[in-house]
Amino acid sequence: MTTIAFIGLGNMGNPMAANLVKAGHAVHGFDLMPENLTIAKDHGVVIMANAIAAVRDADVIITMLPAGKHVLSVYEDIAPKAKKRTLFIDSSTIDVESARKAHAIAGKHGLLSIDAPVSGGTVGATAGTLTFMAGGSKDAFARAEPILKPMAGRIVHCGDGGAGQAAKICNNMILGISMIGVAEAFVLAEKLGLSNQALFDVASTSSGQCWSLTTYCPVPGPVPTSPANNGYRPGFAAALMLKDLKLSQEAAQSSGAVTPLGAEAAQLYALFNAQGNAGADFSGIINFLRGAPA
């Protein structure tokens, strides 16, 4: 049993913390929202008065927060108070630069750290099947792996500090671009009088095959479990897709990478969100391309 501090018990953090409790760990939790603390308490998390109290006895600290500024502010507060040899795991999706700064704060206090963003959404967080993309030293990763296991379907060590966040935003840039590509193909097929099923049957076994088509098909019918069959309820909300595409474009700008399709995808998702679709599944972009509400 390990004592784990869990800071950020929102839609993702709460089910992740619950899986750590189920695995037999003592989880000391903190969140700014009292209603999230109530849910965590029901899952067996020991609720603490603030982040500093949560980390006091912890051997491992996990953060699951909205953005880089939240992670850096929490790290500045807790790193000086953490026990020696404490491992910091940040599973939030944040910009690569902030992730590297977070590693530097931990390092300054002699603490091990990894960035370990996830994919798999709230369904994966509840089922304990998230994919973790980890960045950090071999030592830090070796200590983190058994802690991540009860929450994970797959854990990949991507490289040094920040590499997990880099992998996450590159993957999600592919996802945003490919969803728009698949949606455009269905819109064109409809105009050409081709049925959704016929396009699916051909493309899903041909060179057009990709996850956005075969798992997350943006039209109802061919893949019964995709959000298109459920009124485009998320799933993966368009607001989160826009967040990740913006992070990819910030990273492209600061590193000098040329990503014109990533930039276009970010623009299209910004327009889709601005039309009141931030809470819809990101595959609902097909309705935006048709000129209809999601």
Which residues lie below 8 Å from residue 14, measured CB to CB, with a gap of 6+? Answer: 36, 39, 40, 43
Does 287 help bind ligand NAD (rule: CB under 6 A)?
Answer: no
Question: Which residue in the block uniquely carries the two structure tokens 């983190």?
Answer: 144
Q: Does 32 bind ligand NAD (CB under 6 A)?
A: yes
Between helix 96-108 and helix 238-255 the angle, nearest 10°, is 80
Is 70 a binding residue for ligand NAD by CB under 6 A? The answer is yes
User: Which of 19, 98, 122, 248 is in the footprint of ligand NAD by CB under 6 A?
Assistant: 122
Minimum CB separation from ligand NAD for residue 143, in Å? 22
Answer yes or no whether residue 65 interacts with ligand NAD by CB under 6 A.
Answer: yes
Is 246 noted as a catalytic residue in this protein? no
Site for ligand NAD in 242-281 (CB under 6 A): 243
CB-wise, 102 or 203, nearer to ligand NAD? Answer: 102
CB of 50 to ligand NAD, least distance (A): 8
- Quick one: CA dihedral 260, 273, 119, 71, positive or negative? positive
Count the neighbouring beta carbons within 10 Å of the beta carbon of residue 37.
18
> Two tokens at 223?
């893949």
Q: Is 92 among the residues that bind ligand NAD (CB under 6 A)?
A: yes
242 Cβ partners below 8 Å, 6+ apart? 266, 269, 270, 272, 273, 278
Nearer to ligand NAD, 51 or 286 (CB): 51
Residue 35 tokens read as 């209603």
Q: What is the DSSP letter of 83?
A: P
Task: Write the burial class of residue 196 (CB in 10 Å: 0-12 exposed, 13-18 middle, 19+ buried).
Answer: middle
- Using the contact rule CB under 6 A, the part of the chain among 5-13, 103-111, 138-146, 276-284 near ligand NAD is 5-13
DSSP state of 171: H
CB of 100 to ligand NAD, least distance (A): 16
Shortest approach of ligand NAD to residue 180 CB, angstroms?
19
For ligand NAD, which residue of 21, 74, 151, 285 counts as binding (CB under 6 A)? 74
Q: Binding residues for ligand NAD, per CB under 6 A?
A: 7-13, 30-33, 36, 51, 64-66, 70, 74, 92-93, 118-119, 121-122, 236, 240, 243
Question: Would you please indicate which residues are annotated as catalytic (active-site) residues?
Answer: 168
